[in-house]
Amino acid sequence: MKKILSALTLAVVFTLATANPAQAEEKMLGTVTKIDLAGASATATLKDTKSGTLVDLLVDDTVTLDKFKDKRIGVGDEIKAKYEKKDGKNHSTFFKKAGGC
């Protein structure tokens, strides 16, 4: 019985250690300090409202890029963003002005 338990424990530990965990989506509220447009993507730098740290987000959805181009979103705008860390970059999955009514 001990052998079976040990084998099971080992299997669980191995699975957890080698599994590729799903990338957690991170959220932030920040103010745009810089937008660098580069072809089919852009890097938007947001200053985190809480911590004050600068976060670079890679944006490649056409709707948001269009808003960068005609400055519907620009420096000084407060943004609610979600992103995933992938290949050392923060890939934006949600990028909208924190507007409302």
Partner 1 sequence: MRILPRTLALVVALAAAPALAAEHPGNDVIREKGYQGPQTCEECHPGTAKAFLGTVHWKHASRVTNVDNLDPRQEYGMKNRIYTFCNGNDVVNDLKEIPQNALGKTKLTGCNSCHPGNHLAGVGSSGAEAEAAIDCLVCHSAKYDYSKRKPYKTPDGKVAIGQDRSVEAALAVGKPTVKACMTCHETAGGGTLIKRGFAFDAEHDAHAAKGMTCADCHKAKDHKIPTGFDPNNWANDGVRVACADCHGAKPHKDADYDAHTAKIACQTCHIPTSGGAVAKDFTKWSKDAATGFWEPSTIKREPAGTKPVYAWFNGTVRNEPHLIGPKGSRSDPKSKITPFKIYEGRAYYDRRTGKLLSMDFAQPTASGDTLAGVASAAKTLGLEKVDPVPGWQTIYFANSHLVTKQKALSCDRCHTANGQLDFEALGYSKGEIARRKLKSAELWFDRLHEKEQKKEEF
Positions that interact with partner 1 (CB under 8 A): 27, 29, 49, 66, 70-72, 74-75, 78, 80, 96, 98-101
Query: Shortest approach of partner 1 to residue 78 CB, angstroms?
Result: 7
Nearer to partner 1 (CB atom), residue 10 or residue 75: 75
Q: Rounded to the nearest 5°, which phi and psi values hold at 52?
A: 80, 0
The C-alpha atoms of residue 42 and residue 51 are separated, in whole angstroms, by 23
Structure tokens at 58: 């890679």
Residue 23 C-beta: closest distance to partner 1, Å:
21
- In the three-class reduction of DSSP (H, G, I as helix; E, B as strand; rest coil), residue 84 is classed as strand
